């Protein structure tokens, strides 16, 4: 180290200002008489350059000097431009990589192993991380002088955009500065570090543009009032102000859920609807990705939209998703009463609504899929839904009607929950005695629920009217499904009834036949508007259950193929199949797809085997003569009857 006498520049000297790099580092600048660089720049091995005067570095140039500035002023300001100019697109990136790579490669060409302090504002180096949105690109020599003049001018304008960076040569470098500009690194529209679910959502939205807003409007108008999963006001506000914060899987499943409702709608009459199965596959991938990475409350709503989507094509997949949703709901405490919590009222209501929507989906899926439910009534104390929880203030008309129907559906689901406990009980020592004891309780709960209904819900359930209300047809079908379930489990308790067994069997049969006829008449009278209304996907399983019930009694009570075809049970089953086919062809209604897949061919085979010319023949072979006593042959004739799911999945 040299002596103090050799120091050319005194500390804190205003006549001899510090060099530009020391100013950026906020470090002490000391120079030696025989050296062109200060001690700190030597230590850091950086390019050392000084302003010509204190005034030039402290004062911004006036408008006159900016207009009449000389080339000498431009050269003086070039040195400060590297520290003063910044690209507006990179202001959020506060971290700067080492300046040595930029200086060494772009200006001097020598390696610089030592990095400056973190608070220095050195230009970006070549080793910039890949997550940066911008990259450096050299300005051509022909445009360098023009860019320098513009850069010098913008350096003195507060708030002006900075578009270039300047690297000055060292003492042994080029005689002219080298300019760089910031350019977009990635292709236009390609964002960095997008999640897999966001990428799938982007594809779905590109397929559905420009109808995204109309699809969301249709969802809230038609679906959310019948199965409340989202708070419309907060969702729309977030969609408008902070769309990227919305769960991508939630939006993806919402779009896929609406595919069946908008495919034949006038909403998109001016264009063809994309393939619904392709959209569903993308939504499934987005959902499973987010379920793995970041599950939360929004993922529960996404799962319910996914599982409730039509047509239902994956029993095991839906069961896995529902189990995940119930597990997440328990983890987030949705099974607890939130009314006493110190949270906003809207959040309380949303937690209650999501829980009961999950409860409804779990119970009816259990009945349709033949698996025990996942939610236990004794492990939750959430208050039942009310109009206050479901509807915003000052709601009226259609919204209130939809809320009353959803409340009635929740009450019916509670009755179903009692029935499921009866059906899936396998630990009772005397199962038959348990079933005989619990069946009257189910019937009592069912009748109490029906008697408690008021308003539009009572008209839908008891009288079969007001079916144009949102969700009314779905409630009516669920009610008939529950009635048919009671007829299927009542024979187990028939020993407690009076009368001989034969009379009790005939009574049970005719009561079940009456319910099946109600299902047929209800389906036959549906018109296009009702067919396009909200339907739970699991409600489709009431039709194969009804046809199974009818064919079973036709086989048990008839002894010949002709009498089988002419029986009232078989005729009802045949007519129901014809109605489902008609709705499928005319309106694209998919609620009968499961039944058509399982039993459509069965009905046709029986009719073809008998032949129309033999329908009126009274003396026919016995059924055991018509069908060989071979289990394999019997299974071939009635495959869906004995294994109701093998033809559908």
Identify whether residues 290 and 214 lie together within a single domain.
yes
Identify whether residues 205 and 328 lie together within a single domain.
yes
516, part of any domain: no
Domain's final residue, options 353, 383, 413: 383
Lowest mean pLDDT among 235-239, 271-275, 547-551: 271-275
Identify whether residues 246 and 153 lie together within a single domain.
no
pTM equals 0.70
323, part of any domain: yes
Identify whether residues 251 and 345 lie together within a single domain.
yes
For residue 38, give its domain range: 15-47
Identify whether residues 257 and 277 lie together within a single domain.
yes
406, part of any domain: no
Local confidence band at 627 (pLDDT 50, 70, 90 cut-offs): very low
Identify whether residues 141 and 240 lie together within a single domain.
no
d(CA 487, CA 491): 7
pLDDT: is 32 or 326 the higher one?
326
Identify whether residues 160 and 306 lie together within a single domain.
no
Identify whether residues 252 and 308 lie together within a single domain.
yes
Give SS3 for 194: coil
90, part of any domain: no
pLDDT: is 411 or 587 the higher one?
411
Q: How many CB atoms lie within 10 A of CB 196?
A: 16
412, part of any domain: no
Of how many residues is the chain composed? Answer: 649
Identify whether residues 252 and 179 lie together within a single domain.
no
365, part of any domain: yes
How many domains are there within the chain?
A: 4
Q: Per-residue pLDDT averaged across 179-193, rounded? A: 65
Residue 361 has pLDDT above 70, yes or no: yes
293, part of any domain: yes
Identify whether residues 149 and 225 lie together within a single domain.
no
d(CA 305, CA 358): 10
> pLDDT (tens digit, 9 = 90+) per residue, 488-529?
887 654 544 445 545 556 777 788 899 999 999 999 999 999
Domain's final residue, options 47, 70, 87: 47
Domain's final residue, options 351, 368, 383: 383
pLDDT: is 81 or 219 the higher one?
219
Please name the residues in contact with 390: beta carbons below 8 A apart, sequence gap of 6 or more.
228, 349, 353, 403, 406, 407
Tokens standing for 26? 């906020």
Identify whether residues 279 and 172 lie together within a single domain.
no
470, part of any domain: no
- Burial group, residue 421, by CB count within 10 angstroms (0-12, 13-18, 19+): middle
Identify whether residues 175 and 297 lie together within a single domain.
no
């Amino acid at each position: 180290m040299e002596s103090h006498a050799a120091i050319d520049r005194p500390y804190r000297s205003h006549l001899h200002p510090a060099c530009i790099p020391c100013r950026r580092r906020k470090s002490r600048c000391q120079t030696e008489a025989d050296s062109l660089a200060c001690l700190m720049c030597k230590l850091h091995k950086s390019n050392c350059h000084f302003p010509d005067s204190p005034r030039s570095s402290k004062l911004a140039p006036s408008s006159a000097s900016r207009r009449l500035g000389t080339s000498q002023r431009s050269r003086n300001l070039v040195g400060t431009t590297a520290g003063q100019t910044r690209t507006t697109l990179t202001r959020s990136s506060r971290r700067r990589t080492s300046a040595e790579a930029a200086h060494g490669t772009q200006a001097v060409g020598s390696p610089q192993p030592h990095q400056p302090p973190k608070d220095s504002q050195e230009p970006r180096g070549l080793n910039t991380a890949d997550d940066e949105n911008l990259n450096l690109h050299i300005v051509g020599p022909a445009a360098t002088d023009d860019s320098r003049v513009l850069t010098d001018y913008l350096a003195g304008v507060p708030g002006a955009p900075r578009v270039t960076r300047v690297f000055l040569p060292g003492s042994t470098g080029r005689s002219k500065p080298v300019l760089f500009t910031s350019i977009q690194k990635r292709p236009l529209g390609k964002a960095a570090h997008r999640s897999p679910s966001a990428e799938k959502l982007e594809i779905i939205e590109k397929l559905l543009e420009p109808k995204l807003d109309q699809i969301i409007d249709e969802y809230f108008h038609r679906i959310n009032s019948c199965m409340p999963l989202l708070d419309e006001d907060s969702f729309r506000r977030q969609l408008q102000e902070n769309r990227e914060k919305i769960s991508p899987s939630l939006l993806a499943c919402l779009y896929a859920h609406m595919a069946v409702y908008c495919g034949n709608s006038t909403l998109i009459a001016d264009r063809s609807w994309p393939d619904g199965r392709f959209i569903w596959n993308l939504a499934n991938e987005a959902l499973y990705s987010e379920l793995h990475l970041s599950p939360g409350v929004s993922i529960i709503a996404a799962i319910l939209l996914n599982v409730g989507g039509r047509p239902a094509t994956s029993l095991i997949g839906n069961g896995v998703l529902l189990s995940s949703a119930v597990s997440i709901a328990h983890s987030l405490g949705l099974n607890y009463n939130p009314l006493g919590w110190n949270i906003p009222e809207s959040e309380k209501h949303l937690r209650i609504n999501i829980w009961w929507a999950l409860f409804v989906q779990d119970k009816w899926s259990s009945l349709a899929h033949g698996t025990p439910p996942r939610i236990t009534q004794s492990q939750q104390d959430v208050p039942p839904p009310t109009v206050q929880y479901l509807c915003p203030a000052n709601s009226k008309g259609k919204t209130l009607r939809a809320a009353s129907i959803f409340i009635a559906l929740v009450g019916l689901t509670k009755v179903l929950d009692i029935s499921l406990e009866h059906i899936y009980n396998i630990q009772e020592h005397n199962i038959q005695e348990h079933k005989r004891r619990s069946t009257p309780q189910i019937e009592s709960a069912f009748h109490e629920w029906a008697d408690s209904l008021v308003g539009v819900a009572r008209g839908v359930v008891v009288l079969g009217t007001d079916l144009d209300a949102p969700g009314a047809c779905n409630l009516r079908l669920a009610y008939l499904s529950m009635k048919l379930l009671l007829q299927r489990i009542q024979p187990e308790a028939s020993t407690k009834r009076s009368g001989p067994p034969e009379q009790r069997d005939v009574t049970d049969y005719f009561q079940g036949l009456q319910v099946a006829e109600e299902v047929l008449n209800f389906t036959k009278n549906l018109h296009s508007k009702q067919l396009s209304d909200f339907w739970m996907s699991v409600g489709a399983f009431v039709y194969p259950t009804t046809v199974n019930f009818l064919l079973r009694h036709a086989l048990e009570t008839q002894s010949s193929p002709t009498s089988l075809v002419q029986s009232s049970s078989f005729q009802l089953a045949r007519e129901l199949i014809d109605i489902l086919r008609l709705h499928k062809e005319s309106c694209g209604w998919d609620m009968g797809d499961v039944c058509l897949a399982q039993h459509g061919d069965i009905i046709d085979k029986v009719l073809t085997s008998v032949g129309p010319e033999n329908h009126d023949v009274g003396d026919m072979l016995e059924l055991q003569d018509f069908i060989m006593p071979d289990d394999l042959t019997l299974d071939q004739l009635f495959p869906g009857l004995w294994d109701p799911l093998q033809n559908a999945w």
